[in-house]
C-alpha cells in the first residue's frame, strides 16, 4: 500500500483545541464493518452498542509532565522533553537548542541538576539526573507535553486534568491514549450495569506516536518501541471473555497494538517488555474484535492501523463523512466505534 493513500484533506478548524465538556459529550461515529453503515451518536450512549459478556480493554498509562526548562551555568536556557527512562535517573530526551548543549553540559532545573550526554539516533540525547527520583521533579517543575497541533504556548489547568484518562494510574507516557479521554466514572457504572467487563493493560505512549510515515510504501516504515505490561489477571479475563463468546473491545490503537502483540496460538499471554508491533493493511487481527478510536493524522501509523481494522474503503468513507459533518479531530476530538 502506498503511504499517499493515507492522505486526506482536513480543515484546520476541525482540529480540536479544547476537550468536549463534559468528557462523554463527544460525538461518536458508529461504523459497522458488516453492513457498511455509518451512524452518529453521542459518546454517552456507547454502552447501548455493547453486549453483556463483552470486555473493554483500557490503557492505564499516565501522562507525565515531561517538559522541563532549566539553565546552564552560563545562564543559557535549555528545554528538555523527556521521552523514555532507559535506566534509573537516565532518560532519552529531546534537547533544545541541541547544538548549543555539548555532551557533558550541566543543567539546573528547579534546584535539581542533570548532565546532557551522548547524542542518540533520531536527534535524541541521553540525560542523566543526579537523583533517580525524576518523576518527583517532573511533578514539581514539569509541564504536560501537549501535542504539536494543539496551539497553546503552555498547558493550562484544564489540560492538567483533561489530557489524562480518569483511570490513569501508571506513570510513563508522554502522550495520552486519547480514545480513553471520553470515559467518565458514570460511564464505568453504566458499563457495569450492562454486564460489560473491563480490564487494563499498560503501554507507555511515546513521542513516536506523532512520527509521520515518510516512506513511499507503508511496509518500509517502522514504529518506535514502547514499553508495555500485561498481567496474568488481565490475560485470564481476556481468555475467559473469548471462551464465553464475548467480544474484546480495544479502547484505542495503543491497546490494540498490545493485544495483537500478546495474542498467538488462539490465546492471550501475560508479558512485559517493549513492542514495535506495526499494523498496516493488509493485516489479519487475532486479538481485537471491536475498536474504539479517535480520528488520526494523515500519513500516520495510527491511521494505517485503523485502515487495516476497518477496511480501506470503509474508513475513507467514514473519514470523509466526519470531515463533511464537521466532527472534531485528533487528541481532544470526537471518536468512532468500529464494530
Q: What is the pLDDT of residues 170-179, one digit of tens each?
A: 999 999 999 9
The residues, ordered by sequence, that sit 6+ positions from 292 with a Cβ below 8 Å of its Cβ are: 46, 179, 249, 250, 251, 252, 335, 336, 337, 338
Domain segments of the chain: what residues?
A: 3-63+160-338, 67-141
**More confidently predicted of 102 and 210:** 102
The per-residue pLDDT of the chain, averaged, comes to 96
Tell me the C-alpha distance between 145 and 127, whole Å: 18
Q: Is the pLDDT assigned to residue 122 strictly greater than 90?
A: no
Give the pLDDT confidence of 216-254 residue by residue, as tens digits.
999 999 999 999 999 999 999 999 999 999 999 999 999
Q: Radius of gyration of the chain from Cα atoms?
A: 20
Tell me the pLDDT band of 43, cut-offs 50, 70 and 90: very high
What is residue 163's DSSP assignment? S
Tell me the C-alpha distance between 298 and 4, whole Å: 9
How confident is the model at residue 153, as a pLDDT?
Answer: 85
pTM of the model: 0.94
Closest CA to 288 of 201, 229, 207: 201
Q: Among residues of the chain, what percentage have pLDDT more than 90?
A: 95
Q: Is the pLDDT assigned to residue 21 strictly greater than 90?
A: yes
Q: Is the pLDDT assigned to residue 209 strictly greater than 90?
A: no
The domains spanning 3-63+160-338 and 67-141 adopt the same CATH topology? no
- For 67-141, which CATH class? mainly beta
The residues, ordered by sequence, that sit 6+ positions from 179 with a Cβ below 8 Å of its Cβ are: 251, 252, 253, 255, 292, 293, 294, 335
- For 3-63+160-338, which CATH class? alpha beta
Amino acid at each position: 500500500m502506498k503511504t499517499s493513500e493515507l492522505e486526506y484533506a482536513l480543515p484546520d478548524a476541525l482540529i480540536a483545541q479544547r476537550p468536549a465538556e463534559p468528557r462523554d459529550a463527544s460525538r461518536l461515529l458508529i461504523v459497522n464493518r458488516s453492513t457498511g453503515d455509518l451512524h452518529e451518536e453521542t459518546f454517552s450512549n456507547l454502552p447501548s452498542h455493547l453486549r453483556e459478556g463483552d470486555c473493554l480493554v483500557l490503557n492505564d498509562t499516565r501522562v507525565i509532565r515531561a517538559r522541563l526548562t532549566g539553565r546552564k551555568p552560563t545562564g543559557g536556557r535549555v528545554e528538555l522533553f523527556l521521552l523514555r527512562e532507559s535506566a534509573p535517573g537516565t532518560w532519552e530526551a529531546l534537547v533544545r537548542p541541541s547544538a548549543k548543549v555539548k555532551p557533558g553540559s550541566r543543567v539546573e532545573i528547579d534546584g535539581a541538576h542533570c548532565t546532557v550526554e551522548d547524542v542518540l539516533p533520531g536527534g535524541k540525547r541521553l540525560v542523566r539526573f543526579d537523583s533517580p527520583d525524576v518523576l518527583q521533579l517532573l511533578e514539581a517543575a514539569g509541564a504536560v507535553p501537549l501535542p504539536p497541533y494543539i496551539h497553546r504556548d503552555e498547558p493550562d489547568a484544564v489540560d492538567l486534568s483533561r489530557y489524562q484518562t480518569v483511570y490513569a494510574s501508571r506513570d510513563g507516557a508522554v502522550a495520552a491514549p486519547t480514545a480513553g479521554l471520553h470515559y467518565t466514572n458514570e460511564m464505568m457504572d453504566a458499563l457495569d450495569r450492562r454486564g460489560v467487563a473491563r480490564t487494563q493493560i499498560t503501554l507507555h505512549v511515546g513521542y513516536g506516536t506523532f512520527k509521520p510515515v515518510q516512506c513511499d510504501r507503508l511496509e518500509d516504515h517502522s514504529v518506535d518501541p514502547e514499553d508495555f505490561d500485561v498481567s496474568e489477571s488481565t490475560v485470564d479475563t481476556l481468555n475467559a471473555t473469548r471462551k464465553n463468546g464475548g467480544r474484546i473491545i480495544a479502547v484505542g490503537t495503543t491497546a490494540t497494538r498490545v493485544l495483537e502483540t500478546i495474542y498467538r496460538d488462539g490465546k492471550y499471554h501475560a508479558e512485559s517488555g517493549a513492542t514495535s508491533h506495526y499494523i498496516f493493511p493488509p493485516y489479519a487481527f487475532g486479538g481485537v474484535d471491536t475498536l474504539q478510536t479517535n480520528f488520526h493524522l494523515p500519513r500516520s501509523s495510527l491511521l494505517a492501523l485503523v485502515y487495516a481494522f476497518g477496511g480501506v474503503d470503509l474508513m475513507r468513507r467514514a473519514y470523509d463523512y466526519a470531515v463533511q459533518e464537521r466532527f472534531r479531530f485528533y487528541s481532544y476530538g470526537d471518536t468512532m466505534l468500529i464494530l
